[in-house]
Amino acid sequence: MAMMRAIGLMSGTSLDGVDIALIETDGERVHVVKGHNNFLEPLGPTGYRGYADDEKALLRAATKDAESVLHPGDRPGRLPEAEAFVTLAHAEAVERFLEEHGLAASEIDVIGFHGQTVIHRPDQRISIQIGDGQALASRLGIPVVSDLRRADIEAGGQGAPLVPVFHKALAEASGFDGPFGILNIGGVANATLIDSKGGVIAFDTGPGNALIDEWMQEREGKNLDDGGRTAARGRPDEQLLAWLLTHPFFFRKPPKSLDRNWFSHKLAGQLSTEDGAATLTAFTARAVARALDHAPEVPTRWIVAGGGARNGELVRLLNYHLRAEITTADAIGWSSAYLEAQAFAYLAVRSLKGLPITLPSTTGVREELTGGVLARP
């Protein structure tokens, strides 16, 4: 199958901005180059368009308004305004990316557009990622695949996580054998577990960075706990942690997915800034360890990606609780920051070719299923 050039766009639940990544793939293989000492070369150029404070405030307001949604087509409150903004921000981000890398729109075969998740309730068959794929395709002059969760949700799946098929392809191209896990820590954390026979299961493990980021924003006016330094100075509240881990989500067998609104940083409100950060960071790490209760084969090695890979205290806690080799994606030549954007580029190509993007073992859908809505310029 011919290789295609695809751009992936990801705006996660941490609400920090738009990640952009270009990869080459035929929808099955990922083009990986091994350099010196088998260090993997980057898959392609990447870019980023951060959200300003007022833009983040708009997205937070839209996420709040989305709580009243009863049907997938509902757009109450500020959701229409936020959807127009998300589309514009992604369009501007792609235009700047193409210009910076000397690329023409005609050189790109497809864009995978995740959009901004404002609500995720698969049990009600609702998962809304705002962003207008047709408007984006028309402005950029490039085909766009969006709404990648819908088909899975409508077929009774969780609609998340979507990245495991890319994780498996990237692992195979990189020469990695199981049992090992890929842990992506964005606003919500999700794990892909690949066993020694190449079998895959995947699920959300629990909160990722979202609670920590919101805690730091409220207490310190900062976007995140840089390197986990605040958490490292505190002591976790063991009683609160034990209670948090009794939430029914942690007892459910995978596949399963999490709405980021199920937990709030305000649960630690009685604690000092340092102790609260320590507690919420420990919560993320222990939720991952708790997830191994459902693993058919416990990973001996983990690759950690997402914003959480830059949180030194969180990585330290993962080392302690998982009792396995922990490697960040950047340390092996993958991209901690842009792995999900790369995944949506890959998924867009698979969608174009009618290949499965979700599996019974990753979302709980009854059979392998393709997905995505194609918009042409």
Q: Please, which contacts does 80-83 make with residues 24 or more away whose CB atoms are closer than 8 Å?
A: 82/58, 82/116, 82/118, 82/130, 83/130, 83/131, 83/132
DSSP string, 46-77: EEEEEPPHHHHHHHHHHHHHGGG--STT---T
Q: Are strands 180-185 and 301-305 parallel, antiparallel or unpaired?
A: parallel
Helices 312-322 and 273-291 pack at an angle, to 10 degrees, of 40
Cα–Cα distances (Å) from 16 to 132, 208, 209, 268, in that order, read 20, 14, 11, 22
- 179 prior amide bond cis, ω within 30: yes
Whole-angstrom distance, CA of residue 161 vs CA of residue 205: 10
Cα–Cα distances (Å) from 280 to 24, 182, 324, in that order, read 38, 21, 22
Whole-angstrom distance, CA of residue 159 vs CA of residue 145: 16
DSSP 30: B
Binding site listing for ATP: 12-19
Binding site listing: 12-19
